[in-house]
Structure 1
Amino acid sequence: MNVGIDKINFYVPPYFIDMVDLAHAREVDPNKFTIGIGQDQMAVNKKTQDIVTFAMHAAKDILTKEDLQAIDMVIVGTESGIDESKASAVVLHRLLGIQPFARSFEIKEACYGATAGLQFAKAHVQANPKSKVLVVASDIARYGLASGGEPTQGVGAVAMLISADPAILQLDNDNLMLTQDIYDFWRPVGHQYPMVDGHLSNAVYIDSFKQVWQAHCEKNQRTAKDYAALSFHIPYTKMGKKALLAVFAEEEETQQERLMARYEESIVYSRRTGNLYTGSLYLGLISLLENSSSLQANDRIGLFSYGSGAVAEFFSGILVPGYEKQLAQAAHQTLLDARQKLTIAEYEAMFNETIDIDQDQSFEDDLLYSIREIKNTIRYYKEENE
């Protein structure tokens, strides 16, 4: 049975900062951000916008009434949970109007969580061919103002509908996974921002890709020539490029050029949004599919997922004939272009505004599904009929 991604969409909030502006404010060479890490813009959110808000916007436009009746599982991959107990997927299930007899939960393992959800969804549909599963990656990547990680921040969500006979990408059964107990990035309970060993994290990312790529190729008897393109987890756009160069330096020059050209197409959107954590791999996949004129039906796409701490996975899928008709390049371009550019002062003020969950209060935000009220520590969201 063919199972895979039937629909896919991303969303980022309507605000951003320019990385050149940030560089000047932090008194560093702008090339350090635009070339050194490969970022041009960073998505920014208000305090009244959270992972539920982003998940709703990413999911609602791709789901039909028929989908809402067929979905029997909602999975949110995130490391930005809003509750230590209740899953955001439960709130998302209600706001979307999905039929009640469904399973809803969150998965956490740094930036890998959504990939775990995708694989769980695939297995569920294989066992229940009439089912559909909604998998959403939604996160807020924050390291603090003027911190070392500040230029690799970002925010947003990617929603994927998993089904039998998918219209976009048929997932293969060729997964290769790797788990290593390494403290390259972590956030203890109670800490507002993560702890990061940047050099170690970069090294573990590259080494993890080397290991899973080699083992994957040995297991499945493949080489780089079998892949039309590779999509990577993108904490910043130079990271995937480093891994690609480290592994394929010995490949024929034509193979290197081909894979690098596809990689550049996969980072078009990430350069304008920053790090989506769990969603970054799948934002890269959307960017690849929407910005490449070289891909064709039946091409094999490889996907490298990485979550610090550390879990890595490499798997692949086959492009379905007509996949390009399921994409929304014009809408995504409009979404990115319509955002408001903030000054660094406006960004810093927005960054420093936080919600006291223990204080009952109401909020004004024009954005649909934003938090409208906190009452008895519960978040209430603005809905379409309000």
Structure 2
Amino acid sequence: MTVAVGIDKLGFYTPGLYLDMTDLAHARGAEPNKYLIGIGQSKQAVIPPTQDVVTMAANAAEQILTPATKAEISMVLFGTESGIDNSKATAVYLAHLLGLPSNTRAVEIKQACYGATAGLQLAADFVRARPTAKVLVIGADIARYGLRSAGEVTQGGGAVAMLVTANPRILALDAISSYHTADVMDFWRPTYRTEALVDGKYSTNVYLDFFQQVWDDYQAQTHRTIADFSAFVFHLPFTKMGRKGLRQILPTATSAQQATLTAAFEASQADNREVGNLYTGSLYLSLLSLLRHGNLQGGERLGLFSYGSGAEGEFFSGTVQPTFQQGFDEDFLANQLADRQAVSVAEYEEIYRAQLPNDSRDVQLAVGQETAPYYLAGRQHEQRQYRQQ
């Protein structure tokens, strides 16, 4: 008998500050609806210097791991394009912060926004071969394009943590998926830059082309059609992008199916609209948003599209489990987003410039107001100083 494998638990963390997109539009001399409707974003997470991808990942993972579960983790796979070291993996820092066993495999995975999906698929294959294993998969990033840049409105940040096990509570993954890779320069960040370079229109076109290719190939492999799905979940660097992807395939559905899929998409983009771009975590925040706000039932099949510029895309699927609401803490997640504080554009710009400098200087960060369980206190002797409350 084949054992179901997939996502057992989901956690999400973003810092307690945000920038209202209407305020940003006014400051940049733009019509607010250009951001609110044209891009599809309402708020953008603002990342203080005391949070980086390691601490955000720890804050997300802490929501879903008990002391007993930590002792059972076999592997940590950390997808990010905001790594803090060209050699040492963010997963190693994370495993230490969380107090995971020393016989844990810990690896960082990089391919733009696709890294967490690579981690999820590797984790699923690992558990299929070892049904008692538990794997922690992370998607954590800070999206930075620069003040007053064309990509400024699609910044954001946060972390999603997934526990991958046999007999999962949330989503059982199908073994078949479709993937596509091509060497294209739609988005990249050379090692000498702290901010990404992007050809926005070109990247959107590549995203849509890759989605069509992997969706067509998936259908050819499985003989499933759009009628077999209750929802499609997209990587959302901004919410309008996924909407365009869904609209590519909606004409193949009946009118009733179109209405169901459109409503599900609206549910899946609700949290992303309030947070902004998570890069590797974006698809999985979309999934979490659908689980929280959608009208799902156990046994329904979801389709998921992952995309990482440069470029790699994958379409895969899974079945919602009847116990899916046991896999995340709804009250915590709702309160986390509701309790954030707005910052002015001037405060956002100051925080943006205050990130840990890209040099060897010792730095002591102001940590007196930090409320997250894990945070960055500064840097000494070229080593980041992580702390736990």
* TM tier relative to shorter chain: over 0.9
Aligned match of 1:334: 335
> Is it true that 1:324 corresponds to 2:329 in the alignment?
no
Q: Which residue of 2 aligns with 1:179?
A: 181
Could you tell me how far apart the structure 1 residues matched to 2:326 and 2:159 are?
A: 22
Counterpart for residue 382 of structure 1: 387
In the alignment, the residues of structure 1 paired with residue 124 and residue 185 of structure 2 have an alpha-carbon distance, to the nearest angstrom, of: 30
Per the TM alignment, residue 258 of structure 1 is displaced from its structure 2 partner at its CA by: 1.3
- 1:232 deviates by 0.3
Question: Deviation of residue 48 (structure 1)?
Answer: 2.1
Give the match's secondary structure for 1:269. Answer: helix
| Equivalence for 2:375 | 370
Q: Distance in 2 between matches of 1:174 and 1:60?
A: 31
How far is 1:373 from its partner? 3.0
State whether residues 18 and 341 of structure 2, in contact with CA within 8 Å, keep that contact through their aligned partners in structure 1: yes
Q: Distance in 1 between matches of 2:64 and 2:93?
A: 18
Structure 1 residue aligned with 2:239: 237
Q: 1:8 and 1:338 mapped to 2: Cα distance?
A: 20
Q: Which residue of 1 aligns with 2:267?
A: 265
* Cross-structure match for 1:49: 51
2:50–2:378 contact (8 Å) kept in structure 1: no
- Which residue is equivalent to 1:355? 356
CA distance in 2, matches of 1:298, 1:292: 14
2:12 counterpart SS class: strand
Measured in 2, the distance between the counterparts of 1:340 and 1:199 equals 32
Match of residue 211, structure 1, among 204, 213, 226: 213
Matched with 2:15 is 13
CA shift digits 1:79-122 (9 cap, x unpaired):
00000100010010011011110110100000000000000101
Match of 1:305 in 2: 306
Counterpart position of 2:158: 156
* 1:125 Cα deviation from its structure 2 partner: 0.8
Q: Distance in 2 between matches of 1:53 and 1:84?
A: 18
Unaligned stretches of 5+ in structure 1?
none
Q: Return the offset for 1:127.
A: 1.3
Distance 1:250 1:317 in 2: 21
> How high is the TM-score relative to the length of structure 1?
0.97
In 2: Cα distance, 1:148 partner to 1:382 partner: 35
Range with greater deviation from structure 2 (352-361 or 120-129): 352-361
CA RMSD in angstroms comes to: 1.0
Tell me if the contact between 2:234 and 2:286 (Cα under 8 Å) persists in the aligned partners. Answer: yes
Give the corresponding residue for 2:88.
Answer: 86
- Kindly provide the CA deviation profile for residues 285-321 of structure 1, in whole angstroms up to 9, marking residues without a partner as x: 000011012x110110110000001100000111112
Which residue identity does 2:45 align to in structure 1? A
Which of these residues, 66, 69, 73, is aligned with residue 68 of structure 2?
66
- C-alpha distance in structure 2 between counterparts of 1:316 and 1:114, whole Å: 15
- Answer whether contact 2:227 2:253 (CA < 8 A) is retained: no
Query: How many percent identity over aligned positions?
Result: 48
For residue 334 of structure 2, what is the amino acid of its counterpart?
Answer: Q
Task: State the AA in 1 paired with 2:382.
Answer: T
Secondary structure, aligned partner of 1:181: coil
By how many angstroms is 1:252 displaced? 2.2
Aligned partner of residue 138 in structure 1, secondary structure: strand
Match of 2:292 among 273, 287, 290: 290
3-state SS of 1:5 partner = strand
Question: Which SS does the other structure have where 2:310 is aligned?
Answer: coil
Q: CA deviation at 1:164?
A: 0.8
Q: 1:91 and 1:9 mapped to 2: Cα distance?
A: 19
Summarize the alignment of residues 14-163 of structure 1 with structure 2, pairs less than 5 Å apart.
14-163=16-165
SS at match of 2:40: coil
Maintained 8 Å contact 2:231/2:301 = yes
- Which shows bigger deviation, 216-225 or 240-249? 240-249
The answer for unaligned runs of 5 or more in structure 2 is: none
Contact 2:28 2:148 in 1 (8 A): yes
**Residue by residue, what CA displacement relative to the aligned partner does 1:301-343 show, whole Å, maximum 9, x if unpaired?**
1100000011000001111122123232221111011111000
* Count of residue pairs the alignment pairs up: 383
Give the superposition deviation at 1:214: 0.9
In structure 2, C-alpha distance between the alignment counterparts of 1:278 and 1:321, rounded to whole Å: 27
AA matched with 1:274: G
